[in-house]
Amino acid sequence: MYHTLIYDPLYNGLIFLMDVIPWADAGVAVIIFTILVKLILFPLSYRSVKTQLEMKRIEPELNAVKQKYTDKQEQARAIMALYKEKGINPFSGFFLILIQLPIIFALYSIFYNGGLPSVHGELLYSFVAIPDFINMKFIGLVDIAKKSIILSLLAGATQYFQIRYSMPIVPKKTENPTFKDDLARTMSLQMRYMLPVVVFFISYGISSVIALYWTVSNLFAIGQELYIRKTLKNNKTI
């Protein structure tokens, strides 16, 4: 299932791009393929951003529900009922993240486990030809199958800005904070500052192709977020 739906299409897509675009090195092919994947997933991303904005809009109602119900189970049921009433799916963003994880694993397998620059003809579709030459040097500088601290730093930095645009503002610390307030603030700060560090170490620990994919994905997500917010604002949807 993994090979049929993820690995083989990704492998064939990269080989196809490097064949039909002779000047495209492996890094450029990854960038083009990443953008294509993001465009395919755009409807899901649109719903995810819209859900975030809608949840922010109904935040006063959510706070009212939390104050009204002290029992955790009753509170959870009331919150889910409110989401259902407003037509909000709070798990839409989580599904989007899950879809992209197999792509990262497949890229790692292709570049690190011998899938490139050697070409396995038995994995190619009938309409995909083997390129005469596969250039593994991204823009002539970085071997995409090896580690790159520069690309890893870019992955971490773009992850920080992507989180900054997509996540709500960190709640201010009150004079008498509750455990819930402290937990929400701590989690928000960890996502904002710790996740970029984790992304840096993961991408540097594997190969620069993962760092490149993460960087392009984050840049695309930032532009996408700004575009969707502007579109929804102009249409007065939110």
User: Which tokens in the block code for residue 190?
Assistant: 């960890």
213: part of which helix (H) or strand (E)?
helix 208-234
pLDDT at 103 over 70: yes
Residue ranges making up the domain that contains 109: 2-234
pLDDT at 180 over 80: no
pLDDT in tens, 50-96: 777 787 778 788 778 878 877 778 877 888 888 888 777 766 666 77
CA distance 233 to 101: 31
pLDDT in tens, 25-38: 888 988 998 898 88
pLDDT in tens, 199-217: 888 888 878 888 898 899 8
* For residues 103-108, average pLDDT: 82
pLDDT category of residue 129 using cuts at 50, 70 and 90 = confident
Rounded percentage of the chain residues whose pLDDT exceeds 70: 84
Domain tally for the chain? 1
Exposure of 113 by Cβ count < 10 A (0-12 exposed, 13-18 middle, 19+ buried)? exposed
Determine the distance from the C-alpha atom of residue 142 to the mean position of all C-alpha atoms in its chain, rounded to a whole number.
Answer: 23
pLDDT at 164 over 60: yes
pLDDT category of residue 157 using cuts at 50, 70 and 90 = very high
pTM given for the model: 0.76
Query: Which one is predicted more confidently, 197 or 168?
Result: 197
| pLDDT of amino acid 158 | 92
pLDDT at 174 over 60: no
Which residue, among 168, 142, 165, 156, has the nearest Cα to 203 in the 3D structure? 156
